[in-house]
Amino acid sequence: MTELACSVDPRLYTELCELSLPAPSYSVKTFQALRALYPQTALLFLMGEDSFYHLTSWYKWQMLTDYCHIVVMRRKGCKPPLPVEQKKWLQNSYSEVECGKFESISGNVYLVDTPYFTVSSTLIRQELANYFHAGPVAAKEIEHKIIKWLPPQVFDYIKANRLYDAVIT
């Protein structure tokens, strides 16, 4: 599905280095491996704002900016306060520099405003499960929502393979 999603833009591709890393999979280990593969390239870790607010629960989260820039895509809604430890860390990493004009290959956190979609991966999976169990009229309405969130190729693949047919809520 990642390959299908990347096919919509020639600048995107799948990088499979994480598959060769020992378990468990941690973002910091993945970016460490990517840095070894691409030592002079600016690496970007894109994440939703909700994930950013839970960063302190991640394995060695403080080291992420040693290997990449973090681009936080803001979302609407109530924002919980950042943990004190994360606030201190952010003071050294936050950058007002326009995202895309990097002076270094890693080390910064960028907060960017993006088109707001009040959707999460959990909601998408649930809507896909609803799609498979809905009648024709309801399925068409759900499909209109899903195609706003997923490239058509990915949605077609999910339908053909009945992925997320039975989602645990």
pTM attached to this predicted model: 0.78
Pick the CATH number of 2-112 from 1.10.10.60, 3.40.50.620, 3.40.50.150, 3.30.499.10: 3.40.50.620
- Ranges of each domain in the chain: 2-112, 121-161
Over its length of 169 residues, how does the chain's per-residue pLDDT go in tens digits? 999 999 999 988 899 999 999 999 999 999 999 999 999 999 999 998 888 988 999 999 999 999 999 998 877 666 777 888 888 888 877 765 565 667 789 998 888 877 766 777 888 999 999 999 999 999 999 999 999 999 999 999 999 999 988 765 5
Alpha helices in the chain (DSSP H): 2-6, 27-37, 49-52, 64-67, 84-93, 121-133, 136-149, 152-161
Q: Which is it for the CA torsion 102, 16, 8, 129, positive or negative?
A: negative
> Is 17:37 a contact under the CB 8 Å cutoff?
yes
Give the list of residues 6+ apart from residue 59 with CB closer than 8 angstroms, or none: 26, 27, 28, 29
